[in-house]
Structure 1
Amino acid sequence: MTDDLGDDGNGLGDVATRRDELATRVRTHAGEIARELALFQGGDYGSETFETDAGSWTLKYEAGDVQYLRFDPKSGSEIYVVSSKQPPDPDDLETAMADYDAFVAAYDEYVASFEGLFDDISTDFPAVTSTAELTAERDRIVDRIREVATAMAGELHRYDGEYGTYATTVDGTRWELKWDGDAVSYLRVGGSDGVYLLSQYGPPPATELRRLVDDVEAFVRSFNEHVDELEADLSTVAFE
């Protein structure tokens, strides 16, 4: 893509008009290269530099469109052929356009250098081992924990109100059950950054469940002791 911006005698206005027309054509053409690079690189933004005998060209793109195209000649100052600012000076644009075809050729060589990149790749991948049995067993255990925790929630609801939390320590670790009515909102182990054995977001990781499941019994015993203490306190109340 070459063009001549020389003054043909019609004034600076015509030169500026031709400059703008050429800059628009370059933006459109460079935009096609930008889209191809974005597709190849697999990202919404990036940049690539291409070397020519006369200098280097850097194309930056974002969202599949050209952000700027900069020509850095081996002699002289850099030229923004395409940018988000004002169009280039006509003389600078003419200087850059003298090397534009070499820039496109460098891009073509870049693309050609990846020819055959995937020729030796096999897509015969091994079969994927199912986690169905493991997750089914996890879900069975979680369902059993939910049954027990729901029974606890019902008792807490009956005694302590519509909603609230019951917390205790098991082997040095905080266990907290939150209830809302007769339902369990969550059962969390380890504080605010802990593991949710029960929650509205789904079951816990199987490895975390295995680590904590043996302590569920101690958690329930602690709750029962709490209830026994409440009953003992109530038994001492006299009303005459």
Structure 2
Amino acid sequence: MTEGLETDVEGTDEIAERRNELAARVRTHAGEIARELAVLQGGDYGQETFNTDGGSWTLKYEAGDVQYLRFDPQSGSEIYVVSSKQPPEPEPLERAMADYGAFVEAYNEYVRSFEGLFADVSGEFPEVESTAELVAERDRIVDRIRDVCNAMASQLHRYDGDYGSYAATVSGTRWVLKWEGDVASYLRVGGSDGVYLLSQYGPAAAPEVRRLADDVPAFVDAFNDHVEDLEADLETIRFDDV
């Protein structure tokens, strides 16, 4: 009954060690391919598949390092030669490594296929037009709008308090001036998604300033009419009436 217990058990340490050494070498080598692909593709992550006579190899990479290298043979189950888990069993790894050289050559052919890609691309480009003059004119107009809006804010501050907003309709569009103290916080044309001619984030785009600048005088006229109405109302108040 105890005869079998005396038989020596074959150890697998040597096989596992050789498997682990080979898997580590493959990870390092495939990592070089992953970094080259990341440089070529211009991204931190991606994947590429390379076909060989023995099957197909899919290399997935992230941050310039290999995430996994999978071999799909013509027959049989897929083999993750490199993965985030433990290395494959020795026999599947041996089967995959028999085709590994063909995978590397397929990758090299892929890279060589790009040779001469930019041969006909000229390094000469048209001169870029400057926007300096256009922006300077835009800023000049916006500064004038800001000056008049600050003047309006000062008057509104005196009459309506430290902060608030004044609105008027010009050419069928609602204009809103918000003030704080003697300074205009913003001038918005349209609703909440409208164009901010003035704001803390800077002026509107030049085409928008050009489109709306001609309506600024009408907005100021509406404000002046508003002030005149207020003055007329104030004139009707008498101390005796209080």
Fold agreement, TM-score > 0.5: yes
Cα distance in 2, alignment partners of residues 177 and 87 from structure 1? 68
Shift of 1:169: 1.6
CA RMSD of superposed structures (Å): 1.6
Q: Which moved more, 1:170-179 or 1:53-62?
A: 170-179
SS class of match (2:58): strand
Matched, 1:217 2:223: no
> Mind listing any 5+ residue stretches in structure 2 that lack a counterpart?
1-8
> Mind listing any 5+ residue stretches in structure 1 that lack a counterpart?
1-8
Residue by residue over 1:19-69, the C-alpha shift from the partner in whole angstroms, topping out at 9 and shown as x without a partner, is 222222211211111111111111111111111110011111112111111
SS class of match (1:159): helix
Cα distance in 1, alignment partners of residues 16 and 47 from structure 2? 29
Shift of 1:14: 2.8
Name the TM-score, length of structure 2 as normaliser: 0.90
SS class of match (2:214): helix
Residue by residue over 1:170-198, the C-alpha shift from the partner in whole angstroms, topping out at 9 and shown as x without a partner, is 12212111112112211111111111111
Cα distance in 1, alignment partners of residues 80 and 181 from structure 2? 67
Q: Which moved more, 1:179-188 or 1:18-27?
A: 18-27
Cα distance in 2, alignment partners of residues 62 and 149 from structure 1? 54
Cα distance in 2, alignment partners of residues 231 and 16 from structure 1? 96
Paired amino acid for 1:91:
E
Cα distance in 2, alignment partners of residues 24 and 129 from structure 1? 55
Which residue does the alignment assign to 2:231? Answer: 231
Name the TM-score, length of structure 1 as normaliser: 0.91
**Structure 1 vs Structure 2: percent identity of aligned residues?**
75
Which residue does the alignment assign to 1:179? Answer: 179
Cα distance in 2, alignment partners of residues 165 and 32 from structure 1? 63
Moved over 3 A (4+): none
Q: Which moved more, 1:158-167 or 1:42-51?
A: 158-167
Which residue does the alignment assign to 1:142? Answer: 142
| 1:16-95 equivalent positions in 2, closer than 5 A | 16-95=16-95
SS class of match (2:127): coil
Cα distance in 1, alignment partners of residues 174 and 13 from structure 2? 79
Q: Which moved more, 1:101-110 or 1:86-95?
A: 86-95
Matched, 1:125 2:137: no
